[in-house]
Structure 1
Amino acid sequence: MKQKLTHASFLIILMVTTAALLLILFQPVLQHPNSILFSKSIDPLKSYFNFSYYLKYDSGVRHDGINYPYGDHLQYINSHPAYVSVLKLVDKHLYPIADYGVGILNLTMIFSFLLGMPLLFLILRRFELPAWYAFLSALVIGFLTPQFDRIHGHFEMVYWFFIPLFWYLLIRFREDKKPFFWGSLLMLSGTIGGLISAYFVAFYFIFLVAVLIADLWIHRKQARQQLQPAIYVLVLAAVPVLLVRGLAGATDWVTDRPDNPYGFYVYHANLFSIFLPSEFPLKAFISKYMDLGFQWEGRAFVGLPATWVAISLVMMAPIVWLRKRQPDWSFVFQHKALLPYLLAGTLVLLFSMCFPFKWGFGFLLELLPPVRQFRALGRFSWIFYYIFTVYSAFIFFQLFEKLKAKNRQRSAYLLLIAVFVSWGMAAKHNTERATRGLFNENDKLASNDEEFLQRFQHAQVDYHQFQAIFTLPFASTCGDKLLFENGMTALGEAMKCAHHTGLPLVQSFSPRLSFAQALSSIQLLADSAIGKTRLNDMNDKPLLLISTKQELNEQEAWLHKQAQVFWEDQYITMSTLPLGAFKVSHENWLNHVADFKVQFNTPAEINTDTLPELIFYLDFDDQLAENTFTGTGALFKRRGELEIFNQKLPLPAGTAKLSFWLAFDNRHYDMPQPTLTVWDENGKQLSETKLNNRQTHNVFRQWVQISTHFEVRKNARYQLRIKGKYIGVDDLLIKPAGTNVLIRKSEGPDLFNNFVVDP
């Protein structure tokens, strides 16, 4: 009875202490939760907006606040789908909370500590550590968590209690007293985690599988006896993954989402990101002799006490191995119940370091396609963080007990003081870094709409007349292949307007958006030669155009001139943009082409208002390719470098325009990189220019037009090379700037200035 009372007392003390520290750290937020944004940069603002807009205006699995008119699925836009759906029910049936999405999200992140701390305490207690020691250890491990730092942007990743929850429930399941009960809770936790973020169900799966592998290795001599328990654990691991993926797949109306994002081979952990702090006194000196760099996604510093444990293990292991014929590893595994978790954590750590994929086994990704969907493998090191810090706490307590048993009381307590002071300082630094610059005024997604709506009232404009919001400068992404980041400020202002009016955004900055839908958004700013396919799914109401005072490019400036400004201040303008602006410009282009055909009505393949011999055109119809832009052929190379031409050009001195069509192949996250190199007659390189391949709006079907103007030099040799994966090239045209060229195709549509003439 006394032991239970001690256990409960320290658990209560831990909760009270955690609450007090949270009150000190987050007092402004706890006082006015809806008035503060933890960050105003686009990623966190997007998370706030997606969560808040859904809570105010949407229901079901569909989020209609972005990617108008198609919307997007809750599971793919970092909007905490399971959680926000429950809150939606609360708002609808219990109490109105729809206007306080920002505050709810802020408080949830803060209170996640009150869920994580007792779970850490209970885990430490399961390994027979005394309550007072578990209290101190849980406190420092909890506030040192690498997930704390995600409070600046990746909000769902702040919910650090999920990993300790998976671990605690797995411990209880493995005790085999109530396996069905604890197993059911374990699967439920994995499923709920997966419906908050796909990363959590991935953490759950790989953790359980790693423990399964560790168990099979430890008990390899009793393989038959381990078969049935292994199947149980495998089922426990697989069911939540199948449920989450199955639910998302069954309710998703999109079939072409990106599945191989950039970062798999970049955003991973290494030894320095785990065992060294981001800053330490000798870092500058040591960096002169070795690379200590690491990606921030891989940061999961375990604290110097745990680092010393790791170093000691590495140094002692060969000594023990050499001294004994049958090495005794009890110095490492002093608690047998910890052994499988330590081995499992090590396996997960290797995975977070991109092992074995980065060491010549990249082909395995073809066999495991879901794995490559996680751009930040470094996050999986968080599992190792919790396991190894708990293990280190256990090791230090064993040393403490041994010193006491040898009547070295003073040394024993000095050891613990040193350990917890060091861990405490690391935790303090972690909290200071995580909370630095955190309390920003919520002037974007406030609960009161009246102040913002006065803009429309003063202008005598009814915002209901608009169907959606479009922003300039343009901001969007298409997986990681096309990226437009100049308009982040405008997109933030558009989110503010959408939050207060309910009008959806045409654009989306979600990396998991449908390729086709993302391309149709990007295409809205394409040349007038390209019909805007997205308009076919819109109604006839105008768009609300929100523009900042930033400099606009040529296409953006043209579109801005087609709109009528009705409100502006020193930061933004709001305008009415009729959809006819898009349609009329395309119709004018078609009429221009028709007039040109009448004027140059010849059977020749190339018709131009300049000398035909000055036109350089390659149709590649004699080449085999997986797909073509026009005609019967195109250049294609699966990977490497493809040389398109390397020769003198039949053009006079002056400005010329180069354009060609590059296949948009979604099997790789990046666009192939074209490079134009100029050589003089002696073979000396005069210039080398990487052509813009990521910020172009001229999209037609699954092809992107790459174009540039360049100066033609007499006797110079020009070389165009394209490097990358899945390179597809078709219809290359070089002509004097300002001239018109009509290319008549025997098969397929004609081209005018290298744009398809609609049939």
Structure 2
Amino acid sequence: MFLKKTNSSYIAILLLVIGYVFFDYIFHFNSSVITLGGDGLKNYYCFLNHAMHGYGFHYTGMHYPFGDHVIYTDNEPLFSVPLSYLVHHFHLGIGFVNFIFFESIALSYFLASYYCFLFLNEYKVPKWLSTIAALLIVLLSPQLLRTQAHYGLSFAHFIPMWLYFILNYCKTSKKKYLLYLLLLNFTASFLHLYFAGLLLLMSLSFALVYYFLIKENKIRTLLAINTIPVLVLGFVKGFLYFTDPILDRPTNPGGHLEYKTNFIDLIADPFSTIIDFFQNKGLIAHINDVTEGLCYLGIIPIVSLVFLAFYYSFQMLIHKKFASFRNIETAFFLSALLLLLFAMGLHLSIGIDRLFHYAPFLKQFRSLGRFSWYFYYVATLLAVVGISKIAQNQWVSKKVSTILLLLGCIVWLVDANGRILYMKQNAATYNSNYNYFHRLGEPSWESFLNAKGYSKKDFQCIAAVPFIHVGSDKIWREGVVTNTWMLSKNAIIGYELGLPMMNALLARASWSQSFEQVKFDAGYFVDHTLLKKLPNTKSILVLRLKEENIITPDQQGLLNACDSLGFFDEVYVYSLSVATYLQQQQKVIDSCIRNSNAQNPFYYLNEFDQASAKGIHGKAFAWQDYTKDTVLARISVKQLDTTVLNEFSIWIDYTKDNLKYPYYAICFYNSNDEQIQQVDVNAKTADDSWNGWYRAKAFFSVPSSTTYVLIKIMPSDCNNFIAMDRLEIRPIKYNRVDSLNATYFILNNHILSNDYRR
């Protein structure tokens, strides 16, 4: 398992090359931030924030006041949790935390190359070839691209180490390799849960093939190999059972039927200059993006595998040389092929998706394409083994075979060079990203707050308007103009001030908590249960990007209730007193009830009384399979106020077992039946909910030439719900109150407790 002295010169080469590619990780770890946006910044922020400001297994940097379990935050709990204790008790600085973050990734790629080298040595591959091949295999690994955002998934040493330990255990039956496998599975599972699933399926697929191929000691061997990942996964589930109180995480997360490996992912790479040449000649379809299923093998491994297939077929058919395929190499390859077919979703196309019924936890590993990584390492390593074996059989002279192998390595290096250049080009921005993240040379947020008469201790959290919340799968809230960039700003500002953010970009967030949180900027007519359960009475630091100039009336109402602190660091800054806001909410509700107008002529309400489903009160429109646009309502322009802003809203009884949600369209037509405008309404942006229903909305003005309006539900792969009720259009300057039952009433199509009705 440990470094062998006889390999010292080759180890030095591995270290030098990995050191060159990961130079900034190794030497500039305390002046680098890899990226400033999306998952990349979020994952780094989660790691850094938990290590520096958190403690234990509960993450508090996002999703305030709830936080989340560290396992679901992509913050590498294997490192971040111990670091949180060390920082707390021994007052370690950010330099040590960054050292662990960056050096662990770089070390992983050295270990990956070293164990690829050892694996090839087991087959007597020349050490010079083992060294070059090991490096190229690792540098073309699909995991290398994860180093730019999904850091927990970027650790590349697990599969090569697993292959080496399995190979040696099957050859020697030494129990030390089982111990190594146990440690490998345990550490992998607490770096990222995906590794627990990947290593389990690797073991199971290997066991299945091994059972039918190998005759000797197979039961004992397979029991030993498969007990380890099952025990580790059982330990992880038990650990979560006792440490994670959330019971309503998504059980059918998005993508588990979609993010697959396609054939093009095996033979084309967006970074390869060689592939780019073939694409320009029209020989390969253009591939521009890095997909979840990317598993590019490399030109030389692909050619080698094709050659080996023809070579052994020729040996069998012409020379009648039937090589024994009852060996561990065949077991590796066929088990990897099984997992590749799984990654390609073959089980879905032939109706074996019942697998998810019997093993529902597999749906949590929603990117099937990532399971192709096992095939990548097995195929490339065995390609080198096979070619080396043929070369050593001296069917040509040793000199010629060496030259051919060197030429192959050169082509392979050219192929991999695109990945190396990609890493180096990105590394050129690491230092400027670091300066931006830590705001070096800029006035501090504390000094800005002090100048306004505040201190960071006056605030309990920060929150963005428009509110950003991604992670529950059922809800997806982000900025209209800048998407999730404000969340990056929140991370930068929150880390500097040591304040958690109410916003979230998390995986598998609780549905009930998410529905509570997104009410934050939903206006005065929602039940702000979240604000009522905050742990203290401190204010909330509200931030709005200057680019986010499309603000709804509800959001503007929230901002109007805040104290404006001015403009600083690209954002408008506000202080929200929660108690004052809740008092103002009650005053607004009281006023609206007093001034409500049930006789307003410009009003439309459809309660679907003739429909068949159970509604909020009475009947509701039931779900059906929409293959075309379905008109829910045709409204004459005479029923609409064309002089003011109107609000469309509809209540949806959402499905509780999947992420799906309906799409609507408000379509405006002129007297010639020509559509002149369309307003899209995505229920995933809903910001109000009640008893298993949520409320989608949109604000719009009526175009001047409108004669009538059609409300449509649009066909979509995501379209699903149980029922929908209370489709309402009203001018926002008018208020309407309706009774619902003894406990609730309806104000402007929001459902509120009668406690608000005074």
Q: TM-score, normalization: structure 1?
A: 0.87
1:540 pairs, out of 537, 541, 550, with 537
Match in the other structure for 2:57: 61
2:548 pairs, out of 547, 551, 558, with 551
Residues 748 and 69 of structure 1, relative CA distance in 2, 3 Å threshold: closer
Whether 1:367 aligns to 2:358 is yes
What 5-or-longer segments of structure 1 have no aligned partner? 601-606
Query: Residue 152 of structure 1: CA displacement?
Result: 1.0
Looking at structure 2, the residues matched to 347 and 250 of structure 1 have their Cα atoms a distance apart, in angstroms, of 34
1:13 pairs, out of 9, 21, 41, with 9
Looking at structure 2, the residues matched to 566 and 72 of structure 1 have their Cα atoms a distance apart, in angstroms, of 31
Give the letter for the 2:50 counterpart.
Answer: Y
Residues 494 and 218 of structure 1, relative CA distance in 2, 3 Å threshold: same
Does the 8 Å CA contact 2:78/2:190 hold for their aligned counterparts? yes
Match in the other structure for 2:476: 483
Query: Residue 194 of structure 1: CA displacement?
Result: 0.7
Match in the other structure for 2:188: 193
- 1:37-91 per-residue CA deviation (whole Å, 9 max, x = no partner) reads 1111131111111111111122211111211111111000011112222333444
Give the letter for the 1:383 counterpart.
Answer: Y
Match in the other structure for 1:667: 657
Query: Residue 328 of structure 1: CA displacement?
Result: 5.8
2:620 pairs, out of 609, 630, 634, with 634
Give the letter for the 2:556 counterpart.
Answer: A
- 1:646-696 per-residue CA deviation (whole Å, 9 max, x = no partner) reads 556594465465421123334222322223456789987676653233334
Alignment partner of 1:496: what SS?
A: helix
Residues 242 and 317 of structure 1, relative CA distance in 2, 3 Å threshold: same
Give the letter for the 1:196 counterpart.
Answer: L
Residues 212-361 of structure 1: matches in 2 within 5 Å?
212-219=207-214, 226-278=218-270, 279-286=275-282, 296-312=291-307, 330=323, 336-361=327-352
Looking at structure 1, the residues matched to 726 and 246 of structure 2 have their Cα atoms a distance apart, in angstroms, of 31
Whether 1:436 aligns to 2:425 is yes
Match in the other structure for 1:604: none
- 1:505-546 per-residue CA deviation (whole Å, 9 max, x = no partner) reads 111111321112122221111131112111121121111223
- 1:459-499 per-residue CA deviation (whole Å, 9 max, x = no partner) reads 44221111111123432214233323326333222222322
Residues 196 and 658 of structure 1, relative CA distance in 2, 3 Å threshold: same
Give the letter for the 1:330 counterpart.
Answer: A
Residues 591-606 of structure 1: matches in 2 within 5 Å?
591-596=590-595
Looking at structure 2, the residues matched to 417 and 686 of structure 1 have their Cα atoms a distance apart, in angstroms, of 65
What 5-or-longer segments of structure 2 have no aligned partner? none
Does the 8 Å CA contact 1:651/1:736 hold for their aligned counterparts? no
Looking at structure 2, the residues matched to 489 and 681 of structure 1 have their Cα atoms a distance apart, in angstroms, of 42
Match in the other structure for 2:724: 729
Give the letter for the 1:15 counterpart.
Answer: I
Looking at structure 1, the residues matched to 286 and 739 of structure 2 have their Cα atoms a distance apart, in angstroms, of 57
Looking at structure 1, the residues matched to 708 and 453 of structure 2 have their Cα atoms a distance apart, in angstroms, of 61
Match in the other structure for 2:696: 706
Residues 505 and 406 of structure 1, relative CA distance in 2, 3 Å threshold: closer
Residues 8-87 of structure 1: matches in 2 within 5 Å?
8=4, 11-87=7-83
Does the 8 Å CA contact 2:14/2:114 hold for their aligned counterparts? no
Looking at structure 2, the residues matched to 688 and 460 of structure 1 have their Cα atoms a distance apart, in angstroms, of 46
- 1:681-716 per-residue CA deviation (whole Å, 9 max, x = no partner) reads 998767665323333423444333223446498875
Match in the other structure for 2:402: 413
Residues 188 and 154 of structure 1, relative CA distance in 2, 3 Å threshold: same
Alignment partner of 1:718: what SS?
A: strand
Alignment partner of 2:335: what SS?
A: helix
Match in the other structure for 1:645: 632
Residues 260 and 10 of structure 1, relative CA distance in 2, 3 Å threshold: farther
Give the letter for the 2:548 counterpart.
Answer: E
Residues 342 and 372 of structure 1, relative CA distance in 2, 3 Å threshold: same
2:523 pairs, out of 522, 527, 534, with 527
Give the letter for the 2:523 counterpart.
Answer: D
Looking at structure 2, the residues matched to 716 and 547 of structure 1 have their Cα atoms a distance apart, in angstroms, of 36
Looking at structure 1, the residues matched to 45 and 261 of structure 2 have their Cα atoms a distance apart, in angstroms, of 30
Residues 91 and 230 of structure 1, relative CA distance in 2, 3 Å threshold: same
Match in the other structure for 2:411: 422
Alignment partner of 2:292: what SS?
A: helix
- 1:271-291 per-residue CA deviation (whole Å, 9 max, x = no partner) reads 22122333421213437x967
- 1:571-609 per-residue CA deviation (whole Å, 9 max, x = no partner) reads 234332211353134212320343147xx7xxxxxx333
Whether 1:168 aligns to 2:167 is no
Query: Residue 451 of structure 1: CA displacement?
Result: 4.9
Looking at structure 1, the residues matched to 438 and 635 of structure 2 have their Cα atoms a distance apart, in angstroms, of 61
Does the 8 Å CA contact 1:471/1:547 hold for their aligned counterparts? yes
Query: Residue 429 of structure 1: CA displacement?
Result: 2.0
Query: How many pairs are equivalent?
Result: 731
Residues 475 and 59 of structure 1, relative CA distance in 2, 3 Å threshold: same
Query: Residue 564 of structure 1: CA displacement?
Result: 2.5
Give the letter for the 1:550 counterpart.
Answer: E
Looking at structure 2, the residues matched to 694 and 622 of structure 1 have their Cα atoms a distance apart, in angstroms, of 24
Alignment partner of 1:310: what SS?
A: helix
Does the 8 Å CA contact 1:210/1:347 hold for their aligned counterparts? yes
Match in the other structure for 2:512: 516
Residues 94-133 of structure 1: matches in 2 within 5 Å?
96-98=92-94, 100-133=96-129
Does the 8 Å CA contact 2:637/2:707 hold for their aligned counterparts? no
Looking at structure 1, the residues matched to 444 and 678 of structure 2 have their Cα atoms a distance apart, in angstroms, of 53
- 1:228-268 per-residue CA deviation (whole Å, 9 max, x = no partner) reads 54444332231111111221222102111123222223322
Whether 1:376 aligns to 2:375 is no
- 1:358-403 per-residue CA deviation (whole Å, 9 max, x = no partner) reads 454444433332222223221111111111111010111012112x
Match in the other structure for 1:603: none
User: Does 535-544 or 466-475 show the bigger shift?
Assistant: 466-475
- 1:619-639 per-residue CA deviation (whole Å, 9 max, x = no partner) reads 5486334xx4x2144333265
Alignment partner of 2:518: what SS?
A: helix
Alignment partner of 2:108: what SS?
A: helix
Looking at structure 2, the residues matched to 340 and 470 of structure 1 have their Cα atoms a distance apart, in angstroms, of 53
Does the 8 Å CA contact 1:631/1:747 hold for their aligned counterparts? no
Match in the other structure for 1:624: 613
Query: Residue 94 of structure 1: CA displacement?
Result: 6.2
User: Does 408-417 or 516-525 show the bigger shift?
Assistant: 408-417
Looking at structure 1, the residues matched to 653 and 423 of structure 2 have their Cα atoms a distance apart, in angstroms, of 42
User: Does 360-369 or 388-397 show the bigger shift?
Assistant: 360-369
- 1:396-430 per-residue CA deviation (whole Å, 9 max, x = no partner) reads 1012112xx34523431222112211222223222
